Chain A
């Protein structure tokens, strides 16, 4: 087995000088793993002129920050980012590298893992530590969320995982900041995929941070989703949905809740017309109060909710909206 230096790394994403929420959560998870293994936690951040980001990272629990700066890293590009991270990892030999399950993390982590000739686990919902064996137990849902599996990488280093956004809460933990400046060797000719045009259509939504999430399934129907949007508006919440709802185009794919979508932890999660496929259920397990409405009293969703109503989604939503409006208008 390759000798590892023992550091636990977190790959940090940022935009416009700000660290992404997913990365802050991952820092919290990384801190747990590093402490469990009695190792140092290092944040790895790539870009150009991003010194302020490095300072911020010490506030979120990093013992060390690898500040990898190069003009070619100003914009994310998978080939160059992979090279910069892999080269640094080959030199420092960290024990663990964690990425967020963002679009960036999902394509960068497997590439880095392959280049370093090691394994990886995608879309982890939790990371546990087996300190006696020095292993990170990577917990993820499998088979459409029907079962959970624990994956380890016993004989290869580093141990690499992507972790789903929404499964940890960021913490503020002041550490002594040690910034290690790294200048990678990069060449523009290594870029294999050229970006012709960027279309930023969606504003970053607040699904992971929302207090209320109103989500619909196939049983809600297109008409139901009109009411779901109205309800979310009244409650100042965000809308979401199941995979079938996204397949039908009733919600944007980015708002799909579940194992292959987003993980949310609102105070209130309202599920309307969803059957309760585990693939979906995994997505709101950390929610506070879960209210489910389905016209089938045997729907599995009721096994995953605190309160259930057996009713037609449209009828119920109309009544609920009326009730809430009555109250809110009376104030």
Chain B
């Protein structure tokens, strides 16, 4: 079985810094990491491979340094890593990203399954996985918690509004896994060292049969018009009293607000 897993390198959102004057995110100052949810995707792909055999290919679209994310995927255990990098791709939105990743999947065909994280930590769109499925006209299973492949069929437990459902689809298919799907493994020191020595394959726009006009800023239907800092409407009055007194005060405040005193 050939599983393709999509990996995105994102800035560590815990440490986002914003230029106070321009409101621009200082991306270059941010530590980069593998999108946390994509680790769940990698883990899901590796477990499937370990169960039924085959290979896992990690694919990333991004600037040259996205290579680091792929190295990490390799250290976790993926067999192959492919980086799609081209200056023309800068500014691509989810619509374009899904098109590029779908083309890459076709280039890497045959494949049985494409696994993505349900959403990215930076853009928080959750669009790409679904749109890859639509682009390739494949079954899509979103919000996956458990995944099994039996013969030509993928079976999944997925989260829906108000509960869960078990669904089945024929391979090939696209699935997006949630953060609760599994606990991603940590790479070992040895696997990290080994991953550094292995080659990362590269695909250019030309390899994918795409023109610069179709991608990046030009090809993207959406535009970010403005970035701004969310306003802070409150600043707390701190009650500095011993716990019992503070609790009494807060209790009164709550009861008053609820109209009970």
Residues of A with Cβ closer than 8 Å to B?
78-79, 82, 102-104, 106-107, 110-111, 113-115, 117-123, 137, 140-156, 192-204, 211-212, 235, 247, 253, 259-260, 267-268, 270, 277-279, 281-282, 285, 288-292, 297, 302-312, 315-316, 319-320, 322-324, 327
Which of B67-75, B202-210, B219-227 faces chain A? Answer: B219-227
Does A110 contact B233, Cβ atoms closer than 8 Å? no
Pick the interface stretch among B58-66, B80-88, B121-129, B193-201: B121-129
- Which B residues are in CB contact (< 8 Å) with A212? 254, 258
A320 with B251, Cβ < 8 A, contacts A78-B140, A199-B165, A310-B238 known: yes
16 A-B pairs in the complex with CB atoms less than 8 angstroms apart: A107-B142, A110-B126, A120-B95, A120-B127, A142-B124, A149-B224, A150-B226, A193-B173, A196-B155, A199-B165, A270-B254, A292-B236, A303-B234, A307-B236, A309-B239, A320-B247
What is the interface size of chain B, counting residues whose CB is below 8 A from a CB of the partner?
Answer: 81
**How long is the Cα–Cα vector from A150 to B123 in the complex, in angstroms?**
12
Q: How far is the CA of A122 from the CA of B226 in the complex (A)?
A: 16
Task: Assess the A235–B254 pair: CB atoms within 8 A.
Answer: yes
Q: How far is the CA of A142 from the CA of B227 in the complex (A)?
A: 9
Assembly CA distance A128 to B261 (angstroms): 40
Complex CA–CA separation, A270 to B250 (angstroms): 10
Please give the distance in Å from B207's CB to the nearest CB on chain A: 23
Report if A155-B238 is in contact (Cβ < 8 Å); known contacts: A235-B258, A309-B250.
no
Given known pairs A141-B124, A153-B222, A291-B253, the reply for A306 and B94 (CB within 8 Å) is no
Q: Which residue of B lies closest to A192 (CB)?
A: B139
Query: Which of B164, B180, B243, B257 has its CB near the most chain A CB atoms (within 10 A)?
Result: B243
Is chain A's interface secondary structure helix, strand, loop, or mixed overall?
mixed
A144-B121, A304-B233 given; 13 more Cβ-contact pairs under 8 Å: A113-B127, A114-B131, A121-B222, A140-B124, A145-B230, A192-B138, A196-B168, A197-B165, A235-B258, A253-B178, A277-B14, A307-B253, A308-B238
Cβ 8 A contact of A311, one of B11, B121, B130, B246: B246
